[in-house]
């Protein structure tokens, strides 16, 4: 009978294909956001990010300027240029929004009342009227615009929209809110995994039960408690994030620590090591995968949080990135270039953290699942 060792599973191709599909589904939106953050505003509205490196057809509306008319003999003439930004020539033009490309460049159209309009290929137009023009005329112009990339969005967001301050505030919230629950959970997990005391099973059951408590259920009582105790600002949001993150942290670390070899712990105790020495010199180094796994979850959660930061940090001086971007959505909903830049800036740090520690993620999640 042939040995099964080294034999590839029959469906290994399906596993690899599924993994590749998941990676693409995760990377495509990020790539799209990155490309959009460097595009010109008009091109963002005219075409998708996947067309960023190709010329795109854009339609733009212009109006004639009656104030620029001049009398030439018995006629009144208005001249100007209607060429979209970045375009070299006019492909088609029109007078109605429903038919923006009905006319060819150089074609003259009768406007009635003795007036006519001509739009040339170079974008120049000439409106001729037998009487003085009082109202403006709409001109819709279609043209092929080459791809355009700019750093103006990054300059505006990082220097004039307050995102730089919000970025610092977010780091001030996320870093302590990640470290505090890790330190507290590590001690608790060691005690629940290796120290014998009464009601240990009850405590473990309570921690597992706390995993299903919705954040929204405890948010208002916690806010009231903080107000009664006089806790506010960064301290309040640190404690809130720590409280919501501790059940998962203790659960992950306890499962991992319980799976460590018992002989190492017992030999250390026989050699006279105290519980603190065992914890700091043996348990913590061996538990690094689980610590890194929870760090990823907690940091991503606190960095991308909007609800908790909005409740516990009402001050404008302490606004985090998510709050700043939410305000930009209201005040700058049409400026997609700025929203794309702000969105990409907000995910840069989480991406760095995830890719730096992701090799420990699976090891930490599988802690205690097999023996």
Q: Which residues of the chain have pLDDT under 50?
A: 1-2, 367-371
Please, what's the b/e burial string for 183-195 (b: 16 or more CB within 10 A of its CB; e: otherwise)?
A: ebbbebbbbbbbe
Tokens of 60: 């733009």
Give the pLDDT score at 177.
92
Q: Are residues 225 and 116 in the same domain?
A: no
Q: List the domain range (segments joined by +) for residue 228.
A: 154-365
Instruction: Give a yes or no: residue 27 inside a domain.
Output: no
Q: What is the CATH number of the domain that holds 341?
A: 1.10.3720.10
Domain boundary residue, one of 86, 121, 145: 145
Structure tokens that stand for 7 in this block: 């034999």
Residues 138 and 162 in one domain: no
Q: Tell me how far apart the alpha carbons of residues 114 and 298 are, in angstroms, rounded to a whole number.
A: 72
Same domain, 141 and 275: no
pLDDT one-digit tens code per residue, 137-190: 899 998 888 888 888 888 887 776 677 788 888 999 999 999 999 999 999 998
- For 17-60, what is each residue's pLDDT tens digit? 887 888 888 888 888 888 888 888 777 877 788 888 888 788 88
209 and 358: one domain?
A: yes
> Edge-to-edge, what's the strand order for the sheet holding 115-119?
70-72, 75-81, 124-129, 115-119, 108-112
- Last-in-domain residue among 145, 174, 205: 145
Angle at 103 between CA 99 and CA 107, to 5 degrees: 155
Is there a domain that residue 370 lies in?
no
| Both structure tokens of 29 | 């939106």
Kindly state whether residue 42 falls inside one of the protein's structural domains: no
Question: Residue 364 phi/psi, 5° resolution?
Answer: -75, -35
Residue 270 lies in a domain: yes
Report the C-alpha dihedral over residues 345, 350, 354, 357, rounded to 10 degrees: 120
Residue tagged 């994030």 (tokens): 241
In a domain, 31, yes or no: no
DSSP secondary-structure letter at 141?
A: E
User: Of 170, 173, 163, which Cα lies nearest the Cα of 342?
Assistant: 163
The reply to whether 191 and 106 lie within a common domain is no
Out of 127, 145, 163, a domain closes at 145
How many domains is the chain built from? 2
Q: Are residues 290 and 160 in the same domain?
A: yes
Q: In angstroms, what CA-CA distances link 141 with 45, 67, 123, 313?
A: 15, 21, 9, 48
Could you tell me the pTM of the whole model? 0.70
Q: Are residues 81 and 195 in the same domain?
A: no
Nearest one of 200, 262, 329, 192 to 270, comparing CA atoms: 262
Three-class SS state of 110: strand
């Amino acid at each position: 009978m042939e040995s099964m060792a080294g034999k590839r599973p029959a469906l290994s191709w399906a596993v690899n294909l599924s993994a590749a599909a998941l990676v693409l589904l995760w990377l495509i939106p990020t790539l799209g956001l990155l490309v959009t953050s460097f595009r010109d505003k008009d091109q963002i509205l005219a075409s998708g990010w996947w067309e960023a490196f190709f010329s795109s057809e854009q339609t733009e509306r212009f109006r004639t300027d009656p104030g620029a008319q001049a009398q030439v003999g018995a006629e009144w003439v208005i001249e100007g240029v209607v060429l979209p930004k970045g375009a070299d020539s006019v492909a088609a033009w029109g007078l109605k929004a429903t038919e923006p490309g009905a006319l060819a460049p150089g074609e003259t159209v009768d406007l009635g009342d003795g007036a006519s309009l001509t739009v040339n290929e170079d974008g120049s137009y000439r409106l001729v009227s037998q009487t003085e023009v009082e109202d403006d005329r709409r001109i819709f112009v279609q043209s092929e615009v080459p791809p355009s990339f700019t750093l103006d969005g990054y300059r505006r967001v990082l220097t004039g929209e307050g995102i730089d301050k919000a970025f610092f505030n977010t780091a001030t919230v996320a870093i302590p809110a990640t470290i505090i629950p890790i330190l507290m959970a590590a001690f608790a997990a060691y005690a629940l995994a290796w120290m014998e005391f009464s009601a240990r099973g009850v405590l473990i059951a309570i921690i597992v039960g706390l995993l299903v408590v919705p954040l929204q259920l405890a948010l208002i009582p916690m806010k009231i408690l903080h107000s009664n105790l006089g806790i506010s600002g960064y301290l309040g949001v640190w404690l809130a994030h720590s409280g919501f993150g501790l059940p998962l942290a203790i659960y992950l670390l306890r499962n991992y620590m319980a799976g460590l070899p018992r002989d190492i712990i017992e030999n250390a105790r026989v050699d006279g090591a105290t519980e603190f020495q065992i914890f700091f010199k043996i348990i913590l180094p061996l538990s690094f995968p689980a610590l890194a796994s929870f760090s990823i979850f907690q940091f991503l959660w606190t960095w991308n949080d909007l609800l908790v930061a909005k409740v516990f940090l009402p001050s404008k001086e302490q606004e985090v990135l998510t709050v700043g971007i939410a305000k930009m959505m209201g005040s700058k909903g049409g400026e997609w270039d700025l929203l794309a830049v702000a969105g990409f800036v907000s995910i840069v740090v989480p991406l760095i953290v995830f890719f730096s520690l992701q090799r420990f993620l699976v090891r930490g999640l599988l802690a205690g699942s097999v023996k």
